[in-house]
Structure 1
Amino acid sequence: MVTATAIKTITVKELARKVLNHEDLFIIDARNTDDFDDWKIEGKNIEIINAPYFDLLEGIDPIQDKLPKNKEIYVICAKGGSSEFVAEQIAEAGFTNVYSVEGGMKAWSEHLEPIKIGNLKNGGAIYQFVRIGKGCLSYLIESNGEGAIIDTNRMLEPYESFIKEHHIHLNYALDTHLHADHISGGRKLAEKLGATYCLPPKDAAEVHFEYDPIHDKDEFIIGNTIIKAVYSPGHTIGSTSFVIDDQYLLTGDILFIDSMGRPDLAGKAEDWVGDLRNTLYSRYKELADDLLVLPAHYMSIKEMNEDGSIGEKLGELYQKNHGLNIADEHEFRKTVTENLPPQPNSYQEIRETNMGKMTPDEEKQREMEIGPNRCAVR
């Protein structure tokens, strides 16, 4: 009989802090192997094994010799139910520090962790919201009590709580482009908080709602800070980057730390690959090397800085990022069009949701987003 104190639980927020702090963690993922191989928790000091729930119904013999004797053991599944059963089985076998992750990978996919990137020149700061289970990155810029959010995720509560806690009046919710891998919360957040929602018009030809257009060289004033729009097509025809305070470059899904954006999610790879090259090899070349590149996604934990943030100087990326160092245009086109990962889950439905063409309920939205980020060329 398992005692009442044998099984502990841990929230995804608590687990995320451990991952971002690079703690040594031992995790058992109780989902089926196909799901595990497609998408799992990653971290610099994580040991993770896949032990499907159905293989452990009669006990933990299949994995007992792999379990550490003197470390915490964290068990995760799809939604949090199976992990409790597996954790109980492990506790019954004599392991004392066993935790079931509340909400499972479903909750892991939705957690947002705010990290301060730095201060602005004339007061204020920029924060990166890391969606660690999905690889999505969004940003809040705050200056003199005013704010703007860029590439908002659909989970609004973390942003609303942060805005309230820091006494910020939200002026703008901006999207760098029409997203295809996750559902934007920008329009909904703008409506709730009385802000203006903005989107590049070349990505908005089919949208079913009103928005303010973002054009090249537009400026958005936030307190004492200026956000400048830089038209940067290639991932989509409307993709737009933002230079903030002449310190930060928000690249959307055009440029990542270790890769570059894929041009095919609207079925226009051959048409848009030239735009992608022009943005990376010409438009960005005109910008200052010391701008800190802050992308809308990251591909792997290897791109994460020591504080858990994702960012690197533009000049450094021109030295290190292979996608920025393909001199031959034909070779660039080949690299971009022949090294594409599988399409994001439900990407067409996500695009149509972001256009306002469909309004799936919350559970359906969760299902549509489940899985890893797939916005980059491999």
Structure 2
Amino acid sequence: MLTTSQIQPMTAKELTRFIINKQDLFILDVRNEIDFNNWKIEGKGIEVINIPYFDLLDGVDAALEQIPVGKKVLVVCAKEGSSIFVAQQIIEAGRSEIFYLEGGMKSWSEHLEPVKVGDLTDGGSIYQFIRIGKGCLSYMIISHGEAAVVDTARMTEVYESFAQEQHVQIRHTLDTHLHADHISGGRLLAEQVGATYWLPPKDATEVKYNYERLEEGLVIPVGNTQIDIQPIYSPGHTIGSTSFIVDGRYLLTGDILFIESIGRPDLAGKAEDWVGDLHDTLYNRYKELPDDLIVLPAHFGKISELGANGSASASLAELYLNNPGLNIQNEAEFRYQVTKHLPPQPHAYQEIRQTNMGKMEPSEEEQRDMEMGPNRCAIHDK
């Protein structure tokens, strides 16, 4: 009998590199069919099948028939226990290069991978933190020993560690809007490092904590340079949604505009009210901006939105050419497309909104469970 120490773990970080580098990997997902169909690991070079754990308790012959010989195989479950058991059986059947996902889909949901987007004018840089298992994107803007973090995930220790590696002090944390798909770590990170937390006031009418007001025309400096964060009021996903122009080169769009889709207006139950704001932001306000701005969204919906280095970005001009949500012929059709073809709402989104308002204080385990699954912030995600 093999021991678990002879089974090879694969970390979420290692799996992320497989996907970003488009390497071949065969995944056997042993979660139940409903969970698998709702949310799975995907990527170019990734082949995945689902055989529930309970169908493999009496033997793994059904899996062996479908697993290719000579290919790396990763067994995946919710927390890791079931995948260890199945991986053991597959190894005992004579197969090699069998891995299990360390920490299961929970670790996959929480992993943040920092990727450098580019340099800034006066010696700074901007990094995109890819939460590849959930499709969330956050940012760290660095300049002359200082940093600002935008749309912080709740795994705040990742940003603290990265700031220490870069020898910078986090001075600001900012949320583009009140999130409904994931729990914001912006306020917590600000408290931990002594930074200022910023939130759009129109999204903060019910919050139970103090914050600084993100209002149009405000300039938030990072470091002693020309690298500024300039908020632009851009409602539609929420009534307070605010975009940022950074260094005159990057447009952080929050959940208003993605690479292959646009934001949904219904997560506060006001799709009919907010769809007009969404249209105005996308077809008028953003049209007034320089089209060479590099769009950096708060989410991606599909792996195809990640570029060669793993980051999600494109110029505003490219998006006006290629993004279907920016090429709807008239406002009436836009309203119909946006309000009548919405995807399922994110898991526990009402509880997440309440948590982000400070009205709920769920435990760490409860927060993990609330965030499980895809983000579903976009209109055109399938």
Question: Which range, TM-score by smaller chain?
Answer: over 0.9
- State the match for 1:243 in structure 2: 245
Aligned partners of 2:4 and 2:84 also within 8 Å: no
- Aligned-partner SS, 1:63: helix
**What is the CA–CA distance in structure 2 between the aligned matches of 1:216 and 1:172, rounded to whole Å?**
17
Aligned partners of 1:141 and 1:149 also within 8 Å: yes
Q: Residue 85 in 1 paired to residue 88 in 2?
A: no
Aligned partners of 1:6 and 1:98 also within 8 Å: no
**What is the CA–CA distance in structure 1 between the aligned matches of 2:141 and 2:149, rounded to whole Å?**
6
Alignment TM-score, normalising by the size of structure 1:
0.99
Residues 130-145 of structure 1: pairs in structure 2 closer than 5 A: 130-145=130-145
- State the match for 2:111 in structure 1: 111
- State the match for 1:65 in structure 2: 65
AA partner of residue 354 (structure 1): N
**What is the CA–CA distance in structure 1 between the aligned matches of 2:4 and 2:155, rounded to whole Å?**
33
**What is the CA–CA distance in structure 2 between the aligned matches of 1:5 and 1:142, rounded to whole Å?**
41
How many residues of Structure 1 are paired with residues of Structure 2 in the alignment? Answer: 378
- State the match for 1:339 in structure 2: 341
1:273 pairs, out of 275, 286, 294, with 275
1:329 pairs, out of 311, 328, 331, with 331
Residues 173-192 of structure 1: pairs in structure 2 closer than 5 A: 173-192=173-192
Aligned partners of 2:4 and 2:88 also within 8 Å: no
Residues 357-368 of structure 1: pairs in structure 2 closer than 5 A: 357-368=359-370
- State the match for 1:355 in structure 2: 357
Identity score, percent: 62
Aligned partners of 2:87 and 2:99 also within 8 Å: yes
**Structure 2 gaps, min length 5:** none
- Aligned-partner SS, 1:88: helix
- Aligned-partner SS, 2:28: strand
**For each residue in 1:46-67, what CA deviation from the matched residue of structure 2 results, as whole angstroms up to 9, or x when unmatched?**
0111111111111111121211
**What is the CA–CA distance in structure 2 between the aligned matches of 1:101 and 1:374, rounded to whole Å?**
24
AA partner of residue 344 (structure 1): P
Residues 226-305 of structure 1: pairs in structure 2 closer than 5 A: 226-305=228-307
Alignment TM-score, normalising by the size of structure 2:
0.98
AA partner of residue 129 (structure 1): F
**What is the CA–CA distance in structure 1 between the aligned matches of 2:4 and 2:196, rounded to whole Å?**
51
- Aligned-partner SS, 1:265: coil
- Cα deviation, residue 2, structure 1: 2.8
- State the match for 2:149 in structure 1: 149
Residues 1:4 and 1:271: Cα distance change in structure 2 (over 3 Å): closer
- State the match for 2:205 in structure 1: 205
- State the match for 2:55 in structure 1: 55
After alignment, is 60-69 or 279-288 more displaced?
Answer: 60-69
Once superposed, which parts of structure 1, at least 4 consecutive aligned residues long, lie more than 4 Å away? 3-6
- State the match for 2:15 in structure 1: 15
**What is the CA–CA distance in structure 1 between the aligned matches of 2:290 and 2:42, rounded to whole Å?**
33
- Cα deviation, residue 3, structure 1: 6.4
Residues 1:4 and 1:197: Cα distance change in structure 2 (over 3 Å): closer
**What is the CA–CA distance in structure 1 between the aligned matches of 2:183 and 2:20, rounded to whole Å?**
24
- Aligned-partner SS, 1:250: strand
AA partner of residue 150 (structure 1): V
**What is the CA–CA distance in structure 2 between the aligned matches of 1:62 and 1:165, rounded to whole Å?**
47
- State the match for 2:378 in structure 1: 376
Residues 153-164 of structure 1: pairs in structure 2 closer than 5 A: 153-164=153-164
Residues 1:268 and 1:4: Cα distance change in structure 2 (over 3 Å): closer
- State the match for 2:99 in structure 1: 99
Q: CA RMSD in A?
A: 0.9
AA partner of residue 122 (structure 2): N
- State the match for 1:195 in structure 2: 195
**What is the CA–CA distance in structure 2 between the aligned matches of 1:4 and 1:261, rounded to whole Å?**
44
**What is the CA–CA distance in structure 2 between the aligned matches of 1:70 and 1:128, rounded to whole Å?**
35
Residues 1:202 and 1:75: Cα distance change in structure 2 (over 3 Å): same
